[in-house]
Amino acid sequence: MGGRISVHESDVAAKNYPDRWSKDLVGGPEVKAESGFSVGLAEYHVTEFGELQVHHDQEALYVISGVGQVRVGDEVIDVRPGSAIYVGPGTKHATRRTGDQPVRVIYAHGSV
């Protein structure tokens, strides 16, 4: 594969969206990965669900701070640090905070 195999989150520029910012840590420009695999960090700061996201691949979310809710399809799931969620391919989803602090998640994407 070659190239960089590690990065610190502070060395990756955030992509800003209306409801969040995110950083592709592995599988982005700094550390390449194969077969559509990626791992990143996102922070959701809004109190209402933003625009629904949908991906062609599968995704896993792991909450590291904040309390909130994740909408996966028609289900709304209360989350807190330690919560893990699976989002299947083509499933609409969104995250919002319900507490005072943003909801920070580690996300991973992988091919099916």
Rounded to an integer, the average pLDDT of 28-50 is 95
User: How far, in Å, are 17, 76, 98 from residue 89 at the CA level?
Assistant: 21, 17, 26
Render the burial of 64-78: b for 16+ CB within 10 Å, e for the rest: eebbbbbbbeeeeee
Give me the residue spans of the domains in the chain: 9-110
Average pLDDT over the chain reads 96
* CB distance 104 to 21 below 8 Å: no
Q: What is the pLDDT of residue 3?
A: 84
Task: Assess whether pLDDT exceeds 90 at residue 112.
Answer: no
What pTM value is reported for the model? 0.94
Give residue-wise pLDDT tens across range 71-102. Answer: 999 999 999 999 999 999 999 999 999 999 99
Please identify, in words, the CATH class of the domain defined by 9-110.
mainly beta
Residue 5 identity (one-letter amino acid): I
Rounded to an integer, the average pLDDT of 11-36 is 95
